[in-house]
Amino acid sequence: MTQPIIQLSGLDKFYGNFQALSQVDLDIKTGEFFSLLGPSGCGKTTLLRSIAGFETPSAGSLYIDGQSMDGVPANKRPTNMVFQSYAIFPHMSVAENVAYGLKARKLPKAEIKTRVTDAIAMVGLQGFGERASHGLSGGQRQRVALARALVLKPRVLLLDEPLSALDKKLREQMQSELRQLQRAVGITFVLVTHDQEEALTMSDRIAVMFDGTIAQVATPQDLYGQPCSRRVANFIGMMNFLDAKILSTSGETVDVDVQSFGKLTLPLGQATGGLEGCDAVGVRPEMLTILTGSQTAEREIEAVVSEVFYYGDMTYYDVRLPFKEESVTITMRNTAGRSILGVGEKARVGWSASSLLLLK
């Protein structure tokens, strides 16, 4: 295996008495699209800025491309950043903005010119070079920021919530463009976002952060399918939780007593974050089904519909299971011939033991 492009270990960051990062260990692979995902204030920006060189970690080590970044200032690091505000120089044209870093490197004029033209074309801004940078739309500003950073061919491109200022439609378009751009240039991208959908659709791997610590690092599928804790599961998509008590473990299986579902034997693999401290099972809403007519499932349970949310292609049901206070959400695709249940109706809910996760 090749060496990771970024290696963080034991990183701490204090602002006065406040600990913004604690014991962050992270390896980011060369050429991957990596996302830092977490709620606002969890330390994503602090971590990104530590990699860029704008914050000095209080403890721990940071290697980029095998080189220690201790004491290396931001202008000497092989990283470039797309700022949340884009930070486009207002007194310069689009081309001057893109040329900024090349001029700082004192490259020959002719080379600067061709590289700037190429970079502007790469982000789809052909013909905008001479435009003044004020008066550009949000999407265009972001493209300028991307071109300005990518023209320097950094080893790592750092992006701090680059899409959060855009409206929904443009955001979705830029998501796929960013992904394509990353594949085309082959540069490692580290993206900060608080939007789980954005992280899931764009990334090769995701680190989920809470309160200055990394909770889980995984591919989007693993993160969704095998979250390591209730908190992660709740942050990535929707998850129903049922109280559970571990009765005994034997070799590769564990016996649990689950609220409403009763006593079960689950493979140890379904305790994704380890057995210790597990007190609930989680099940995704789409893993439960409302059975109609003669349909049967591996296991069934009687429930009462307490709320119905109709979305056209989907229906979200809140149902009451026996022995459980809070309702459980089930999402059903509205296929042909399937009737929508009403509030108060009885429902047969189908589930399987293999879709349950033991969580702490």
Partner 1 sequence: MTWFQKWRRGEGAQGLFLISPTLAFTLLLLAVPLVMVIVLSFWTQDYLTLHRTFSLENYRTAWTEPMYQYLMARSLKISMLVTAMTVLLAYPVAYFISFRVSPKRKAMWIFLITIPFWTSYLMRIFLWKVILGYNGVVNGSLMGLGVIEQPLSFILYNQNAVVLTLAHAWVPFAILPIFVALERVDRSLIEAAEDLGDTKWRRFLRVTLPLSMPGVIAATIIVFIPTIGDYVTPRLVGGPNGLMIANMIELQFKKANDAPLGAALAISAMIIVTCVALIFIWLNKKYIREAK
Does position 47 interact with partner 1 (CB under 8 A)? The reply is no
Residues found near ligand ADP in the complex (CB under 6 A): 15, 18, 20, 38, 40-46
Encoded tokens for 11: 């990183």
Question: Residue 9's closest CA among 66, 62, 49?
Answer: 62
Which of Mg ion, ligand ADP, partner 1, none does 216 bind, CB closer than 5 to 8 A by kind?
Answer: none
Does position 314 interact with partner 1 (CB under 8 A)? The reply is no
Does position 94 interact with partner 1 (CB under 8 A)? The reply is no
Q: Which residue is nearest to ligand ADP (CB)?
A: 45
| Sheet of strand 328-333: strand arrangement | 289-291, 346-351, 299-310, 314-320, 328-333
Distance CA 134, CA 96 (A): 13
Nearest distance, CB of residue 183 and ligand ADP, angstroms: 26
Instruction: Give the interface size with partner 1 as a residue count (CB under 8 A).
Output: 24
Q: What are phi and psi of 92, to 5 degrees?
A: -130, 155
**Is residue 235 within 8 Å of 223, Cβ to Cβ?**
no
- Sequence-distant (≥ 6) Cβ neighbours of residue 173 within 8 angstroms: none
Nearest distance, CB of residue 47 and partner 1, angstroms: 16
Question: Residue 191's closest CA among 166, 161, 216, 219?
Answer: 161
**Which range, of 26-34, 122-130, 148-156, 220-228, touches partner 1 by CB under 8 A?**
148-156
**Which range, of 27-35, 101-109, 333-341, 343-351, touches partner 1 by CB under 8 A?**
101-109
Annotate 63-84 with DSSP letters as a single string. Answer: EETTEE-TT--GGGSSEEEE-T
Strands 33-37 and 205-210: parallel
Which of partner 1, Mg ion, ligand ADP, none does 101 bind, CB closer than 5 to 8 A by kind?
Answer: partner 1
Does position 71 interact with partner 1 (CB under 8 A)? The reply is no
Nearest distance, CB of residue 171 and ligand ADP, angstroms: 18
Does position 95 interact with partner 1 (CB under 8 A)? The reply is no
Which of partner 1, Mg ion, ligand ADP, none does 89 bind, CB closer than 5 to 8 A by kind?
Answer: partner 1
Does position 15 interact with partner 1 (CB under 8 A)? The reply is no
Distance CA 200, CA 248 (A): 35
Which of residues 87, 184, 275, 314 is near partner 1 by CB under 8 A? 87
CA distances to 33, 94, 97, 132, 145 from 90, rounded to whole Å, are 30, 9, 9, 8, 12
Which of ligand ADP, Mg ion, partner 1, none does 67 bind, CB closer than 5 to 8 A by kind?
Answer: none
What angle do helix axes 94-104 and 138-150 make, rounded to 10 degrees? 20
Distance CA 175, CA 115 (A): 24
Nearest distance, CB of residue 344 and partner 1, angstroms: 55
Encoded tokens for 205: 């791997």
**Is residue 339 within 8 Å of 347, Cβ to Cβ?**
no
Nearest distance, CB of residue 25 and partner 1, angstroms: 25
Nearest distance, CB of residue 271 and ligand ADP, angstroms: 29
- Count of CB atoms within 10 A of residue 234's CB? 14
Does position 155 interact with partner 1 (CB under 8 A)? The reply is no
Nearest distance, CB of residue 137 and Mg ion, angstroms: 23
Q: Which residue is nearest to Mg ion (CB)?
A: 45
Nearest distance, CB of residue 203 and partner 1, angstroms: 23
Residue 109 or 134: the one with the smaller Cβ distance to partner 1 is 134
Residue 19 or 234: the one with the smaller Cβ distance to ligand ADP is 19
Distance CA 74, CA 149 (A): 13
Which of partner 1, Mg ion, ligand ADP, none does 319 bind, CB closer than 5 to 8 A by kind?
Answer: none
Binding site for partner 1 (CB under 8 A): 52, 54, 73-75, 79-81, 83-85, 87, 89-91, 100-101, 104-105, 132, 134, 148-149, 152
